[in-house]
Amino acid sequence: MHSPVLEVKNLAVEFGSGAGRVRAVDDVSFDVRPGETLAIVGESGSGKSVTALSLLRLVPTPPGRICAGEILFHGEDLLKASEASIRSIRGNRIAMIFQEPMSSLNPALTVGLQIAEPLQLHGKLTWAKAFERARELLGKVRIPDAARRVNAHPHQFSGGMRQRAMIAMALACKPNLIIADEPTTALDVTVQAQILSLLKNLTKETNAALILITHDLGVVARYADRVCVMYAGRVVESGSAQDIYANPQHPYTLGLMASIPRLDQEAGQRLTPIDGQPPDLAALPKGCAFEPRCRFAMARCRRERPALESQGGRHYRACFADVSC
Amino acid sequence: MWAYTLRRLLALIPTLVFASLIVFATVRMIPGDVIDMMLSQNDTSAGQKDREQLEQALGLDQPVYIQYFRWLGGVARGDFGHSLWQNTPVLDQILARLPITFELGLLAIIIGLVIAVPIGVLSALRQDTTGDYLMRSLSILMLAVPSFWVGTMVMVFPSIWWGWAPALVYVPFTQDPLANLGHMLTPALILGMSLSAITMRMMRTMMLEVLRQDYIRTAWAKGLNERTIVVRHALRNALIPVITLIGIQAPLVIGGAVIIEQIFVIPGMGLLLLDAVGQRDYPVIAGVFLVVGVAVMLINLIVDLSYGLFDPKVRYR
């Protein structure tokens, strides 16, 4: 077994200060190994994007602040790293792909320059060589006519092409870890599948680890090896994709599964939504954050906050209830 | 782009005809008549006969609309008429003074940008720090203090304190560039400072806006340092609206020049205009306004064309 590329331990991120302070990420731990795809799943406001941003210390400070935990990249704590050394890791050994391909590329610069930039910076290539590589990379992410398109500006690209360009940019320096924050949310369904397959294949080639932030359980089932389910800033269940799908153990995960349409479901049968609203992070209950929406809730759930406990092997959940019935 | 430029140039013509009409009409509304002035200078006992003779000689006996069409016809042929006082061609007078005001205005705009862009950027990068507050207060101050006041103070106080005063003898640039710049620098600085106030605020606001964009986060995620992010990724995007501001400021510069040229004795268009207004020299006033109008419209055309340099989405058809 390889040692993990990245190990996150008890990460906590807060936003705001004083009375308005909100803990967006609370006591989150996970690790990811070379060649592995870890999916972090959760609804809007569950803290998954903030978790992703904090891995490269990109949380806007202020108002955000990483207030506790360790982020060990090959054993080195990124939270203690100097500004210069975190910069030498960003875009080089850990690359990031963002949610909005429309706005994540600089409209004033050519796509080629933006892909060449990390190569010139980290790879110490000349601009000419870096452009040459950028052209190859564009071809690699299957952009037709890459030799010409390398000089195009982002507005001349479609959404899918821009996301491919973002992937080319992320892959440029052959990183050990790629963090993809909802890379396909803004794209058409057909393009989504292409982009994710491309990402998966290319990371496999270099044996890079991939952290896939998503709210789409379909994506998770197809591409993830392991899964972390987040709710209200905490990991509520984690395990292999197999564990999570075949044997979900947290009521929230169960709810998510019940709310997606399935092919083997009878026609006309209604989906089962999770009742209620995601919690207000500024006013979390003392006990389990999911308790107000949980159909298994007991008195104990209101008093105590369940900790992550092993369900056997590397399958963990944070729940008191017996959900097997 | 050439077709676009040509179309824009053609569009100047109706605008200018309209502007000339306004200018021609308003100039005649200034109280006090040139004939009275001329007569009172020479002979207090001049009679009605002298007045009629003079009016006829200057062509002012015709109805105003005939005067206007005569003048407009002349302008179309490149003849702006003659000064009522010196009897020299108006166009010659203007052409002699245009480069001087152009130099002053260009210097003022450059100085304005040189002050405003770095300070605006720094102010945005260090938002809500003491430096930011200081620089923003400074810009309010520069906005609030009129340039004629600063000009007067610059003339008065240094001479009292240090026995130094700005040079007041105009030397053409072609004769002695250094002496010319030495003379122009102080007035250009004063004009530039007042321009920089607005530009600085605009630069700061735009920079703050751009720094919040997703592509700046992408740039950080690549491992770029702050300087590269600001210079390569943010500045170009933030400059677009600032460039627009230059077009808007062009008339301000010319308006400012009228007063500053008077204070620093610079024989430019401003001084020409001021003298002409004082003497009710109608053809000169109209000529100056027309040329200023063309200049302002051309500057705005250049500004519009320059968007193409900064924003790849802009294409001229």
CATH number for the domain including A89?
3.40.50.300
pLDDT value at residue A325: 52
Question: Which residue matches tokens 């491919």?
Answer: A164
The count of other CB atoms within 10 Å of the CB of residue B295 is 19
Element (H, E) at A319: none
Instruction: Give me the pLDDT at residue A263, please.
Output: 73
* CA atoms of B12 and B8, how far apart (whole Å): 7
Q: Which residue of A has its CA nearest to B307?
A: A108
Separation between Cα atoms, residue A71 and residue A85, nearest integer Å = 14
Residue A117 lies in a domain: no
Specify whether the CB–CB gap between A237 and A307 falls below 8 A: no
- Is some CB atom of chain A closer than 8 A to the CB atom of B313? yes
Chain B residue numbers with beta carbons less than 8 Å from the beta carbon of A100 are 214
Q: Comparing B63 with A91, which gets the higher pLDDT?
A: A91
Task: Give me the pLDDT at residue A291, please.
Answer: 82
- B-contacting residues of A 114-153, CB under 8 Å? 114, 117-118, 121-122, 153
**Using 50, 70 and 90 to split pLDDT, how confident is the model at B317?**
low
Exposure string of A178-198, with b = 16+ CB inside 10 Å and e = fewer, is bbbbbbbebbeeebbbbbbeb
Distances (CA, A) of A38 to A32, A204, A258: 6, 13, 22
Pairs across A and B, CB distance < 8 A:
70
Instruction: Mention every residue, 6+ apart, whose C-beta is less than 8 A from residue B39.
Output: B46, B50, B51, B54
**Residue-level pLDDT at A17:** 73
| Residue B60 pLDDT level (bands cut at 50, 70, 90) | confident
What pLDDT is attached to residue B66? 80
pLDDT given for residue B44 in this prediction: 59
Neighbours of B278 (CB within 10 A): 10
DSSP A74-90: TTEETTTS-HHHHHHHB
Contact between residue A2 and residue A33 where contact means Cβ atoms under 8 Å apart: yes
> Does the distance separating the beta carbons of B218 and A105 come in below 8 Å?
yes
- B214 and A104 within 8 Å at the Cβ level: the answer is yes
- Return the higher-pLDDT residue of B45 and A294: A294
Q: Is residue A152 part of a domain?
A: no
Here the tokens at position B80 are 């702006």
Q: Which domain holds residue A198?
A: 6-105+157-262+287-317
B309 within 8 A of B115, measured Cβ to Cβ? no
Residues of B in contact with A166 (CB under 8 A): 218
Amino acid present at B282: Y
Contact A106 B219 (CB under 8 A): yes
pLDDT value of position B42 = 64
User: Are B168 and B159 spatial neighbours (Cβ–Cβ below 8 Å)?
Assistant: no
Total structural domains in chain A? Answer: 1
Count CB atoms within 10 A of the CB of residue B317: 6
Going residue by residue through chain A, which has 325 residues, state the pLDDT in tens, using 9 for 90 and above. 578 889 998 998 988 877 778 888 888 888 899 989 999 998 887 888 899 999 999 888 778 888 888 899 988 898 888 989 999 999 889 999 988 888 899 998 999 999 999 999 998 889 999 999 999 888 888 888 888 888 899 999 888 888 889 988 988 888 999 999 888 877 778 888 888 888 888 888 888 999 999 888 878 888 889 999 998 888 888 988 888 888 888 888 888 887 777 777 777 777 777 777 788 888 788 888 888 888 888 888 888 888 888 888 788 888 887 776 5
A88 near B CB under 8 A: yes
Nearest CA in chain B to A170: B222
> Complex ipTM, two decimals?
0.87
Query: A323 in a domain, yes or no?
Result: no
Q: Where in chain B is the domain with CATH 1.10.3720.10?
A: 95-310
Query: Would you call B312 and A155 a contact, using CB atoms and an 8 Å cutoff?
Result: yes
- What is the predicted pLDDT for the residue at A205? 86
What pLDDT was estimated at residue B205?
92
> Are the beta carbons of A302 and A289 closer than 8 angstroms?
no
Of B220, B224, B237, the CB nearest to A58: B220
Angle value at C-alpha A309, between A304 and A310, nearest 5 degrees: 165
In this predicted structure, what is the pLDDT of residue B22? 86
Closest CB to A88 among B213, B223, B232: B223
> B219 to chain A nearest CA, in Å?
9
CA distance A191 to chain B (A): 21
- Interface contact A106, partner B, CB < 8 A: yes
B193/chain A closest Cα distance in angstroms: 30
Q: Testing the interface with B: which of A73, A104, A115, A120 to mutate, by most B Cβ within 10 A?
A: A104
Mean pLDDT across B163-189: 80
CB atoms within 10 A of CB B6: 10
Query: Does B222 contact A169 at a Cβ distance shorter than 8 Å?
Result: yes
Q: Does B170 touch chain A (CB under 8 A)?
A: no
Q: How confident is the model at residue B261 (pLDDT cuts 50, 70, 90)?
A: confident
Structural domain contains residue A123: no
Q: Give B 196-235 residues with CB within 8 A of chain A.
A: 213-215, 217-225, 232-233
Q: Which amino acid is at B6?
A: L
Interchain pair B224, A87: CB under 8 A: yes
Residue A187 lies in a domain: yes
pLDDT at res. B173: 77
User: For position B206, what pLDDT does the model report?
Assistant: 92
Superfamily of domain B95-310: MetI-like (1.10.3720.10)
B315 reaches A (C-beta below 8 A): no
Instruction: Enumerate the residues of chain A whose CB falls inside 8 A of the CB of residue B217.
Output: 58, 98, 104
